[in-house]
Chain A
Amino acid sequence: MANIELLQSLTGHKGIVWNVSWHPLGNVFASCGEDKTIKLWNKEGQEWVIKTVLVDGHQRTIREVAWSPCGNFLASASFDATTAIWDKKSGQFECNATLEGHENEVKSVAWSPSGHLLATCGRDKSVWVWEVAGDDEYECAAVLNAHHQDVKKVIWHPELDILASASYDNTVKLYKEDPADNDWTCVATLQSHESTVWSIAFDKTGERLASCSDDRTVKIWKEYKPNNEEGVAVVEKESTWKCICTLSGFHTRCVYDIAWCHKTGLLATACGDDIIRIFKKTEDSDPNAPNFELLCKKQNAHSQDVNTVKWNPTGNGELLSCSDDGEIRIWKYSD
């Protein structure tokens, strides 16, 4: 029987905990929230404990934290319009670079798989691509104004320098750099959600994308490359992304986050109805019209909205969640 078991409830933040992020090794994670602090958690014996608290990096709510693929840098996006980069070259974590440029709230930050690029997005409707130019130096490589509303989330393809963003304008957009002139452009707009798209997640191949929305649905999108077997038309040699599955009727309120485990293929969702749900593609379903089944759900996973879910990158079935109720919880999924 598929089951989610609570391993530990972690308190320490004051107010809303907006986001949690696993270190790439899966033995440390960072959390952030309304109280303007970042906390780093380590496992001591069987218990997760706060190891470090990062303060004074931001003047307002910290909306998201993200580890670089090498695990040496932590980026934090804040409502104070800045993104801070932290590292422990000096022996302890310090903020050694601040990325400025957004007009107001930064909502999300993500590192590219190579660690050479960083993306941020925010309330000012823009998506920024930053290049790591050297020690503590970051240069703006592009400002993308494809969305016409608040941009909620940016994520990178698991292997390639392809960027995806999700917005209050109900769409998801994909961007690539044109090698001819080094210009970043929007290469696809994924349209189907009927309200704000809060979060997105690639599967391990990067050929499928899951999105979750205020319209209470989750959608699965598939990439159709030029000359695909299925005969899906493409424009100007750019892949076409088609919605191949909509999970509706499962969530009773806004779906704030989605996580796609690259080891197990499991999808987890964080919902405004306080429930965590786990889905999986059914074994024999058609890749062009797959079925996803609800394996299990955890009622009252938190006492208020669940804001984020994150699978441990090692694939050990550990799932982190955080909530408006001020708690972080760590779960173990088993089937």
Chain B
Amino acid sequence: MTKVADNLNPNIYEKASEREISSTDLDEDVADDFDEKEIFDLIRNINDPEHPLTLEELRVVQEENVFVNNKENTVEVHFTPTIPHCSMATLIGLSIRVQLLRALPSRFKVSVQVSEGTHQSEHAVNKQLADKERVAAALENNTLLQIINQCIATV
């Protein structure tokens, strides 16, 4: 028996355009801090665990829900499950977290949370995602790690 997806017919949204490269981007003398767009680019193409679609196409992640503070070394991502009872919410959050932990310099404190009011177990999911000890233990689970790597693998 194959598992039926929680949300069989999710809404699919159009992808945003790619970043336009400006002249300052190419100027080696201009300090280039991380910005929201850059963080968004790192997570927009993460695959949904259930559908052959990206988190951007399902509007699980959006650029306006990414918050970067370079001075304080913090990155905060709020993600929106496609439905309020999505059983994949923790896994999706974990994939976003792992992708950012791998891609960003270690000085960044990464926080991944469900957007307020979009999931029935919002508090429990957020607490789990914020507990670095449980995240570390989860990432030692090979089966889980494989699933996460599949979500993160971008074509």
B132: chain A residues within 8 A (beta carbon): 305, 324
CB distance from A94 to the nearest CB of B (A): 25
A105: chain B residues within 8 A (beta carbon): 137
* Cβ 8 A contact of A303, one of B106, B130, B131, B136: B106
Contact check, A168 vs B131: say whether CB atoms are below 8 A apart: yes
Closest chain B residue to A254, Cβ basis: B130
Whether B134 sits at the interface, judged by CB under 8 Å, is yes
Scan residues 87-105 of chain B and give those whose CB is less than 8 A from a CB of chain A: none
CA distance A146 to B112 in the complex (A): 30
* Cβ 8 A contact of B106, one of A34, A63, A304: A304
Whether B14 sits at the interface, judged by CB under 8 Å, is no
Whether B51 sits at the interface, judged by CB under 8 Å, is no
Given A34-B136, A61-B137: A272 and B106 within 8 A (CB)? Answer: no
Tier of interface size on chain A? 20 to 34
Contact check, B140 vs A150: say whether CB atoms are below 8 A apart: no
A13: chain B residues within 8 A (beta carbon): none
Q: Which residues of A contact B (CB under 8 A)?
A: 16, 34, 60-61, 63, 79, 104-105, 107, 123, 150, 152, 168, 195-196, 214, 253-254, 272, 303-305, 324-325
Contact check, B109 vs A303: say whether CB atoms are below 8 A apart: no
Whether B127 sits at the interface, judged by CB under 8 Å, is yes
Contact check, B136 vs A16: say whether CB atoms are below 8 A apart: yes
Contact check, B106 vs A79: say whether CB atoms are below 8 A apart: no
Contact check, B134 vs A150: say whether CB atoms are below 8 A apart: yes
Whether B133 sits at the interface, judged by CB under 8 Å, is yes
A123: chain B residues within 8 A (beta carbon): 134, 137
Given A150-B134, A195-B127, A305-B132: A60 and B106 within 8 A (CB)? Answer: no
Contact check, A196 vs B106: say whether CB atoms are below 8 A apart: no
Given A150-B134, A196-B131, A214-B130: A61 and B106 within 8 A (CB)? Answer: no
Scan residues 5-19 of chain B and give those whose CB is less than 8 A from a CB of chain A: none
Closest 7 interchain pairs by CB? A105-B137, A79-B137, A60-B140, A304-B106, A79-B140, A61-B140, A61-B136
CA distance A61 to B134 in the complex (A): 12
Closest chain B residue to A272, Cβ basis: B109
Pull 11 A–B residue pairs with CB atoms less than 8 Å apart, ordered by A.
Answer: A34-B136, A61-B136, A61-B140, A79-B136, A104-B137, A107-B133, A196-B127, A196-B131, A214-B130, A303-B107, A304-B106
A107: chain B residues within 8 A (beta carbon): 133
A304: chain B residues within 8 A (beta carbon): 106-107
Q: Which residues of B contact A (CB under 8 A)?
A: 106-107, 109, 127, 130-134, 136-137, 140
Closest chain A residue to B106, Cβ basis: A304
CB distance from A20 to the nearest CB of B (A): 16
CB distance from A78 to the nearest CB of B (A): 10
CA distance A21 to B113 in the complex (A): 34
Contact check, A253 vs B109: say whether CB atoms are below 8 A apart: yes
CB distance from A35 to the nearest CB of B (A): 12
A16: chain B residues within 8 A (beta carbon): 136
B137: chain A residues within 8 A (beta carbon): 61, 79, 104-105, 123
Residue of B106, B127, B133 most packed against chain A (CB within 10 A): B133
A152: chain B residues within 8 A (beta carbon): 133
CA distance A313 to B130 in the complex (A): 33
A79: chain B residues within 8 A (beta carbon): 136-137, 140
CB distance from A265 to the nearest CB of B (A): 29
CB distance from B97 to the nearest CB of A (A): 14
Closest chain B residue to A325, Cβ basis: B106
CB distance from B113 to the nearest CB of A (A): 14
Given contacts A79-B140, A107-B133, A303-B107, 15 further A-B contacts (CB under 8 A): A16-B136, A34-B136, A61-B137, A61-B140, A63-B133, A79-B136, A79-B137, A104-B137, A105-B137, A195-B127, A253-B109, A254-B130, A272-B109, A304-B107, A325-B106
CA distance A105 to B136 in the complex (A): 11
CA distance A168 to B133 in the complex (A): 11
Closest chain A residue to B132, Cβ basis: A305
